Amino acid sequence: MENNLLRIIDANLNRAREGLRVCEDIARFSLQNKSAAKTLKTIRHGATNLVLKSKKISFPKLLSERNTAKDKTKFIDFTPGQKIEIPDIFMSNIERVKESLRVLEECFKIIDEKISRGYRKLRFDAYDVEKRIVKKTRLISCNRWKEFK
């Protein structure tokens, strides 16, 4: 299997799980939305479990291909001085999650169609939880949300 493919999978699996954890904690502690937090946790565990089901990829194999020392874009960050609030963090992370799950879905089409379909389901689960959170809260200017009265 191509090393570049393993690096893509490793980076996107990490990105998806990290983003899900951020969203999960915001849903849990900031929004106090137990249902959304539980769904996000289920998606996060699902992303991990799909790789564990693969007969062609393992976590040690993914780790062996990881090379953060040569990753020239690892420190690209948000614009300095930009005011960031919790809703901005949630929205940027849920977008990151959906994008990463799509990359995993596409990469696993090469390796295992069943696992690819699993990542597609998780991506649509992320769309659904995002919609529930946005519907329950209202996004206002500058990507801020405000509770409905």
Mean pLDDT, consecutive 10-residue stretches, the chain (149 aa), reads: 91 97 96 96 98 90 85 69 86 96 98 97 98 78 46
Cα 144 to Cα 92: distance, rounded to the nearest angstrom: 12
CA triple 71-76-44, angle to 5 deg: 80
Q: Which two tokens stand for residue 138?
A: 């209202």
Quick check: pTM over 0.85? yes
Phi, psi of 146 (to 5 degrees): -140, 135
Query: Which of 38, 43, 37 has its CA nearest to residue 16?
Result: 43
Q: How is 37-76 classified by DSSP, letter by letter?
A: HHHHHHHHHHHHHHHHH-SS--HHHHHHH--GGG-TTTT-
Q: What is the DSSP letter of 66?
A: -
Domain boundaries in the chain? 3-61+85-147
Q: Would you give the DSSP letter of residue 29?
A: I
Which residues is 137 bridged to in the sheet? Answer: 147
| Residue 33 pLDDT | 94
Q: What confidence score (pLDDT) does residue 141 get?
A: 38
Q: Could you say which DSSP state residue 19 is in?
A: H
